[in-house]
Homo-oligomer: A and B are copies of this chain.
Amino acid sequence: MELLKIIANIPLFNGLTEPQLAELAMIVTDQQFKRGVTIFAEGDRGVGFYILIAGQVKIYKMSMDGKEQTLHIFGPGEPFAEAAVFTGKSYPAYADTMQDSRVLFIPREAFVALIGKNPALAMNMLGALSQRLKKFAGMIEALSLKEVPGRLAAHLLLLSGQQGGDEFTLNIGKAQLASILGTIPETLSRIFKKLSEGSYIEVQGAKIRIVDREGLERLASGEEKL
């Protein structure tokens, strides 16, 4: 029963109904590891994914000269290796316990079989992940709208300088530009739209024309806010 309660509180399984949680609990195993144990190694077949219940787990890669590069340190409640295991890949890095730890292990084969038998379980997980993703996108927008318009303005002025004029072409994709500026494509689109509506620039596909250079300069310097 305790296991069921733990599973019900994991965000990844937030969308599941009680009967679905009970079915899931049947394939989950509860495992304990001492501190300093390697749970899986990079390149091992991804036989299942994990949820950390207690303790701490370090995810790392090994460089050519044998140095560890820590990618992430997970705490209680966080799943790990699930993205690789869902897509059927091998483990992309090492996982070592940094403290005595308790994990739930969900074997891939049994999980795939469960979804085949019960597609609503997958639907509910997709629903919960989508909802969380929207919430996260909203937070990134709220956090990055303060600084990204200024960074974008600076970037546009730079491109205009490089390409010598008020009209120039964006030479990278929107996803890549969003990542350079520290935001996501959805928010970048909204900023471009605001810059157009505010008559700072005109946008036509990848072509940009600067309409109000001084306005862009004020945005870039932080004197003016969008």
A residues contacting B by CB (< 8 A) are: 12, 15, 75, 77-79, 82-88, 111-113, 115-116, 119-120, 122-134, 136-137, 139-140, 142-144, 182-186, 189-190, 193
Contacts and interface: CB of A to CB of B under 8 A. Distances in A.
Most buried by B among A79, A88, A115: A115
Contacts of A15: 86-87
Nearest to A86: B127
A125 B123 contact: no
A87 B128 contact: yes
A83 B12 CA distance: 14
Given A87-B15, A139-B182, A182-B142, A122 B127 contact: no
Q: How many subunits of this chain does the assembly comprise? A: 2
Contacts of A129: 126, 129-130, 133
Contacts of A130: 12, 79, 82-83, 86, 129
A137 B137 CA distance: 9
Contacts of A136: 133, 136-137, 140, 184
Given A144-B143, A182-B142, A84 B127 contact: yes
A122 B83 CA distance: 12
Contact of A143 (B82, B119, B182): B182
A148 B221 CA distance: 24
